[in-house]
Structure 1
Amino acid sequence: MRNLKQKALLLLGIIIVNYGAAQKAETPENTYDLGAKINEMTLTVGGILVAATNDGLVGIDPKQSTPTFTFNNFGRLTPEETEFIPESPYIVVSQGAGSKFAGLAKTKRAVINYINGKVIFNSETDNWNQIYTCNIVLPQNKLIVSGIQKEGDKFEKMTPKVAVYDLSSQKLDYSFFLDKPGRVGIAKDFSVTGTPLLLKEFLIIPTAQGLLAKKHNGDDLWECKIKGVNWMVADVTEKEIYGFETTVNGKNTRIHKIGSNGAELWKDDRKVQGNVSNFQILPQGLAVVSDKVAAEESEIAFLSASTGEDLWEKAPKTKGFVQHFYVQDDGILFGIQQGGINKISFDGQTLFKKPLKTGENIMIMAESPQGLIYITSEDANIVDLKTGDQVWNKPLKYKNTTAVASTYDSSKNRYLIAADGEIFAIDANSGDVSEFSKVKFDEKEVANTMEMRNGNIFLSSSQNVAMLGNDGSQLFHEYFKSPSQSGFVKALSGIMAVASTGLAMAHAAKAGMNRTSPYGSSNDLSNYNDYGKENKRAADMFAAIGDASFQMMSKRFKATAATENAQFILTKLDDGVGLVKVNKDSGKVDKEIVLKDKKPEYQVDEIAGVLYYKANDNTIYAYNLQN
């Protein structure tokens, strides 16, 4: 089936033997001469292509003949200096260290809305000499900046300051000093140590002196002596705040609890090993996942919200890295990357009769009408979500593979799983497994996508497409030679069942982003094959913010992907390397675009149906793939 996240990484090809009837399309819809060498192209979640050049950044909207923005204020930017904020239309660009260790070195920050092309914040024009932190806050749609601003008298120019900007109106909401300008006495370090927490009534800033709470007009509220906090989370009432402090060596994280009045609510902080990658406040307590990166091992803890003490007498043994973590009505379900699934009640009791043994790399954990379906690189099964009992008599096992494809055939009430050239059919009621078909793809590829189309089964890989009838017979198989076996990068392989919202089309969320997801918890178990529901969730999420740019993103996610009925693949044509548009139902090539480049650099927007091709060092072509 179709998977937007996987398909967005398209670097691959397809061409058909009888492509002579295909529509030639060598004239681009638009040509963009950027006037400087292009170093990178990034397709954003909002559908704008952002090119990094020797001069700066350029935004391209294929519906416009000229770039939507050009940002050359800071000159050439490295990837490390360009941050695409996940689930938003914003880019934060940075130069300089941006911390108390920067000394007198100047630090620069800017925030760009890549959809409307506006530079919302520029530290240069707003007279900031040093920037400690620069954080986008969603869904409030605010920007919080801390640092040293070159305004006011000589004392004010030396005193750390915080400013809050409204991203929709592009105006300053309020600002305040973190210390009294000109204060006499021993110098104190008020540099900001982490991400401020914006609440309905006030703002909390973590500093080297402790936590400072300010009203939205900048008036003082309270101070707390907890120092070095990196990030914070509040409960729904905003009366209980949790602060996370990573130790200097990064081996441990200390968790603090603070009241809305600044009082420390726990007698002692709670220490967990490693970095906290997942944290969720539940009615029964606090769920915490921490990762010991070097050891590739995670720990799961469940803490009392009132005292911070462990509610579980014995923490579950993970014996590996927590790859999946889901909160359900009766407990916590988790899957381990090295293999294994278990479920623990909120009072620490094992809900599964025994830990479920699985193969390594759990690609899928999802709800199905029969129970929890899991698919790994070695096996697959459905188990009862309450007990962990197998629904299928025994797991489906296959040779360890990096690519597995699957889908559900509703007409025959069966699951279809393709692994290592074999396709298996599993009856959803009985769990009986049968060998459905074999598919041999050229270049030793295996299928990494599978979807039902009008009762037939479509399969594809980087250079192969095939269609099977509902009885397993092959209706067609077409192979398209890769441009270069040595220089061509194959597509990332993986399972194709639970489609993502597409939010990772251009940027994966940072590790641990789910701990403070601006749109609510991401620890809900998805439904198998329910990609339509996921896309609607993304659209509603963006629409709720109300800003015009988010509205455009919402509209984009309500649209049907242009690639629903076609696959675009890079291949070797008679006239050179090119991209072809292949009809999934017929296997015929509907369009081909000759790129005449052995190793072309390009991006495909599969929602809008646009090919962006770097034609030469300075130029990008945009082709319409829909017609």
Structure 2
Amino acid sequence: MKKITFSIILLLSVAVSSIAQRKYDEIVTTENAVQDLVQNGVTGIVVFKEGASIKGLDPETKKVVWTLTKEDFGGRSVLDIAGDTDLTKLFADKSTLTNVPGSPYVEAYLESKYLIINTDTGKVVYNSAKESFWVTQSDFIPETNEYLLTLKKDGDMAIALLDMTTGELKWNTTVDKAKSLFSFSFKESVNTNVAKVHGSVIYYLLYGKLYSFDRATGKLNWKGEEDYSKFFLTQNDKNIVVVNNTGTFSTKQYLNVLNTETGKSIWKESIKTKRVVYLEDWGTKILVAHYSGFNFFDLNTGEKIWKKDARGDGLKRVIPIDQDFLYVAENEMMLINKDGEKLWKKFIEISDDKEDPIYYLGKVGEKVMYLTGTYGNMVDYKTGVKLWKRNINFDKNRPVLPTYDETTNSYLVYNDEKLYKFDPSISDKPEPFAKVNIKREKELNSIEQFPWGVVLSGPLEVMGVNMDGTVKYHLTYSQPGEGTRRLIKSAAIVGSIGLGVGAGVSEFKGSEVTMTYRDSDGNMRTSVLKKEDKTNKDQAKAYAAGAAALGVVAAKFNSRFNAMKQNRDFSYIFAKADSGEKILVKVSKVDGVEVDKIIFNNNKPIYEVDPATQNIFYVSDKSIQIFNRKEK
């Protein structure tokens, strides 16, 4: 078997060397060097800046369809940032062009101005040059096609609501002194800034401060008394659940409930814990699972409803199943009902160490399956008895990657150069169906299921394995060099692009706490659990939903979205060729064939791979080189 596998790989290596690196198919030349480039996910328009102009390139015709110059957006701003070190640093950290996910818009920072451009029309929807303030932060609200802008005006900080239909500010409200704005890290703002429109009110969590505005007038209803890291609206419209950290480096979190009219806490005491894990809103009560406990609390009083907490020492995961709750405390799991009663006789150990990651935990048919950093097994849902006498033992120092096979209702799992098939119908632990030799295993980040087998991939390695355990192909590449990672401004939505997160990686590795809603009888209403590490396909769906909600170029995007769904069959790898040149390699996941090779002539290339057409737009000095889709 080893000799056969080696022969296959050797033949592939010969085939690879026969594919020559090619020249671009089309080129857009410019008078000045192209300084930045980004593709909008909805319209597909490739926006680039060269000299003092911003231009839009149609991805289908490869022609410039609109151009913006100083006549459209003006020269330098009427304000001067020379004496403001905070603003100087802020604008230095901003990218010239930034795509706005779920919208047809691109934001631009140039010559101390902030612009919002509709990429479909090339119209400057908003230009801060005419204003007597600086725009320091922007957050798009796709449900209403509006923007919340954070402004610095003299020594004050203000919040403004921008109507994207008219390009006019609906209101502008001063909320604080500007110095408080710059005490917060701008790099952290992407993780904390959240805007939610609820009827006539806008709630805005900005740099740790929670604000309530009248949406029509901009009147500041209230400002939270403490700093918060998260907030969740409740079903009764009267309360907000808030979580805050006690200081920048604190390991403690506090949870409380606010009155929506006043912004003041209504619970006498906050829940103090190391980490909030899971939340559910049942109308008059909320379920709070945190590091040290697990109980229902009366929404109005904060009083516990269960007489005794479900065990919570080191609680780190809760999975709702119908009206039961499967949860993990330290390295053991238990199933309880909605009254907090245990449904299993004893806890089930699922890992050696309480710090081991959970890659999968959930119900499969009438069984519970778990995959952790050290073990894999299945448990009878009703009794809690392990179905396999022996666990599969994983090496926790090496990657564990699972992927689900819908056709067989089973999971395929990679660990320690072995592939396993977890079939709920078998009575004992499975033996590995394949043993492989991954060269850069610690960098492995993706496992994908295909009708013929499995694809394992990382930034510089791709392997295809047939379901009979034979290696179909194996390609490895050299690191292009330190400090030469590709600069791709808006990664392709479908398909593995460079270091993108692979499909099939469990949601639990990067999940964040959000609120789940039920009625008073415990029936699930709306789940708002979001995955932090979304697969590219999930992102595409989110973008499509955003475009539909806006009613903007929906027909155009739908055609792009349908094309994008078909394009998960290739990997794009930025590597170094034997000649020393830096290249982008397109690899077919079906057979391991190197479909395309493109030479990059700069150390930090700027490029976009269009997910709908698979054409590549690459910045090369005073031009954009276009490499059309190549299949074989």
Q: Distance in 2 between matches of 1:68 and 1:590?
A: 33
Q: Quick one: which amino acid aligns to residue 473 of structure 1?
A: T
**Is the aligned partner of 1:523 residue 2:534?**
no
Q: Residues 521 and 427 (structure 1 numbering): CA distance in 2 closer, same or farther, change over 3 Å?
A: closer
**Is the aligned partner of 1:470 residue 2:463?**
no
Three-state SS of the structure 2 residue aligned to 1:19 is helix
Q: What is the match of residue 375 of structure 1?
A: 371
Q: What is the match of residue 140 of structure 1?
A: 144
Q: Residues 145 and 417 (structure 1 numbering): CA distance in 2 closer, same or farther, change over 3 Å?
A: closer
**Is the aligned partner of 1:201 residue 2:200?**
yes
**Is the aligned partner of 1:417 residue 2:417?**
no
Q: Distance in 2 between matches of 1:515 and 1:241?
A: 11
Q: How does 1:169-568 map to 2 (within 5 A)?
A: 169-172=166-169, 174-175=170-171, 198-203=197-202, 214=214, 216-217=216-217, 227-228=225-226, 230=228, 232-236=231-235, 238-242=237-241, 252-253=253-254, 255-259=256-260, 262=262, 266=266, 268=268, 270-273=270-273, 280-283=280-283, 285-288=285-288, 302-312=296-306, 313-314=308-309, 316-319=311-314, 322=316, 326-333=319-326, 341=333, 345-350=337-342, 353-354=346-347, 356-358=349-351, 360-365=356-361, 368-369=364-365, 371-384=367-380, 389-408=385-404, 415-432=411-428, 433-442=430-439, 448-474=445-471, 476-484=472-480, 496-497=503-504, 514=514, 521-523=527-529, 534=538, 538=542, 541-548=545-552, 556-561=560-565, 563-568=567-572
Q: Quick one: which amino acid aligns to residue 394 of structure 2?
A: Y
Equivalent residues of 1:570, 1:580 under 8 A apart: yes
Query: So what's the TM-score if we normalise by structure 2?
Result: 0.68
Q: Residues 483 and 349 (structure 1 numbering): CA distance in 2 closer, same or farther, change over 3 Å?
A: same
Equivalent residues of 2:102, 2:543 under 8 A apart: no
Q: Residues 525 and 388 (structure 1 numbering): CA distance in 2 closer, same or farther, change over 3 Å?
A: farther
**Is the aligned partner of 1:623 residue 2:623?**
no
Q: Quick one: which amino acid aligns to residue 308 of structure 1?
A: G
Could you list the per-position Cα deviations for residues 43-89 of structure 1 after superposition, in whole angstroms to 9, with x for gaps in the alignment?
Answer: 66546667799989887663443387778967994445787666555
Q: Could you tell me how far 1:300 is from its partner in structure 2?
A: 6.2
- If asked which structure has higher relative contact order (CA below 8 Å, sep 6+), I would say 1
Q: What is the root-mean-square deviation in Å for CA atoms of aligned residues?
A: 5.4
Structure with the higher fraction of residues in helix conformation: 2
Three-state SS of the structure 1 residue aligned to 2:542 is helix
**Is the aligned partner of 1:578 residue 2:583?**
yes
Q: Distance in 2 between matches of 1:375 and 1:177?
A: 50
Q: Could you tell me how far 1:489 is from its partner in structure 2?
A: 6.5
Q: Distance in 2 between matches of 1:43 and 1:496?
A: 22
Identity %: 20
Q: What is the match of residue 491 of structure 2?
A: none
Q: How does 1:601-620 map to 2 (within 5 A)?
A: 602-616=607-621, 619-620=623-624
Equivalent residues of 1:270, 1:309 under 8 A apart: no
Q: What is the match of residue 22 of structure 2?
A: 25
Q: Distance in 1 between matches of 2:57 and 2:513?
A: 28
Q: Distance in 1 between matches of 2:173 and 2:477?
A: 63
Q: What is the match of residue 164 of structure 1?
A: 161
Q: What is the match of residue 598 of structure 2?
A: 593
Q: Could you tell me how far 1:211 is from its partner in structure 2?
A: 6.7
Q: Distance in 1 between matches of 2:267 and 2:311?
A: 26
Q: Residues 455 and 161 (structure 1 numbering): CA distance in 2 closer, same or farther, change over 3 Å?
A: closer
Q: How does 1:64-213 map to 2 (within 5 A)?
A: 64-66=62-64, 77-79=91-93, 87-88=102-103, 110-112=115-117, 118-125=123-130, 127-129=131-133, 134-145=138-149, 163-172=160-169, 174-175=170-171, 198-203=197-202
- Return 5+ residue gaps in structure 2 as ranges: 1-10, 78-87, 182-192, 487-497, 518-524
Q: Quick one: which amino acid aligns to residue 234 of structure 2?
A: D
Q: Residues 300 and 545 (structure 1 numbering): CA distance in 2 closer, same or farther, change over 3 Å?
A: farther
Q: What is the match of residue 189 of structure 2?
A: none
Three-state SS of the structure 2 residue aligned to 1:26 is coil
Three-state SS of the structure 1 residue aligned to 2:129 is coil
Q: Could you tell me how far 1:268 is from its partner in structure 2?
A: 3.0
Q: Distance in 1 between matches of 2:313 and 2:608?
A: 39
Q: Distance in 2 between matches of 1:28 and 1:524?
A: 41
Query: So what's the TM-score if we normalise by structure 1?
Result: 0.68
Could you list the per-position Cα deviations for residues 438-485 of structure 1 after superposition, in whole angstroms to 9, with x for gaps in the alignment?
Answer: 2223466786544444434444444444444432234x3343432557
Equivalent residues of 2:143, 2:549 under 8 A apart: yes
Q: Could you tell me how far 1:372 is from its partner in structure 2?
A: 4.3
Q: Distance in 2 between matches of 1:214 and 1:91?
A: 27
Q: Could you tell me how far 1:429 is from its partner in structure 2?
A: 0.4
Q: Distance in 1 between matches of 2:166 and 2:116?
A: 13
Equivalent residues of 2:394, 2:415 under 8 A apart: yes
Q: Distance in 2 between matches of 1:73 and 1:329?
A: 59
Q: What is the match of residue 294 of structure 1?
A: none
Q: Could you tell me how far 1:37 is from its partner in structure 2?
A: 7.0
Q: Which of 59, 62, 65 is 2:59 aligned to?
A: 62
Could you list the per-position Cα deviations for residues 292-348 of structure 1 after superposition, in whole angstroms to 9, with x for gaps in the alignment?
Answer: xxxxx787664322222344543643527x4x5544432444568x85555554444
Q: Distance in 2 between matches of 1:305 and 1:287?
A: 9
- Return 5+ residue gaps in structure 1 as ranges: 1-13, 96-106, 151-157, 180-187, 291-296, 501-507
Equivalent residues of 1:287, 1:300 under 8 A apart: yes
Q: Distance in 2 between matches of 1:209 and 1:580?
A: 46
Q: Residues 375 and 243 (structure 1 numbering): CA distance in 2 closer, same or farther, change over 3 Å?
A: closer
Q: What is the match of residue 495 of structure 2?
A: none
Could you list the per-position Cα deviations for residues 166-203 of structure 1 after superposition, in whole angstroms to 9, with x for gaps in the alignment?
Answer: 2344344x326669xxxxxxxx9899998675322344
Three-state SS of the structure 2 residue aligned to 1:586 is coil
Q: Distance in 2 between matches of 1:254 and 1:482?
A: 48
Q: What is the match of residue 3 of structure 2?
A: none
Q: Quick one: which amino acid aligns to residue 599 of structure 2?
A: V
Q: Residues 461 and 136 (structure 1 numbering): CA distance in 2 closer, same or farther, change over 3 Å?
A: closer
Q: Distance in 2 between matches of 1:115 and 1:516?
A: 36
Equivalent residues of 1:116, 1:549 under 8 A apart: no
Q: Residues 277 and 430 (structure 1 numbering): CA distance in 2 closer, same or farther, change over 3 Å?
A: closer
Could you list the per-position Cα deviations for residues 183-227 of structure 1 after superposition, in whole angstroms to 9, with x for gaps in the alignment?
Answer: xxxxx9899998675322344679999976636246x7x956863
Equivalent residues of 2:447, 2:502 under 8 A apart: no
Q: Distance in 2 between matches of 1:598 and 1:568?
A: 17
Q: Distance in 2 between matches of 1:536 and 1:302?
A: 36
Three-state SS of the structure 2 residue aligned to 1:545 is helix
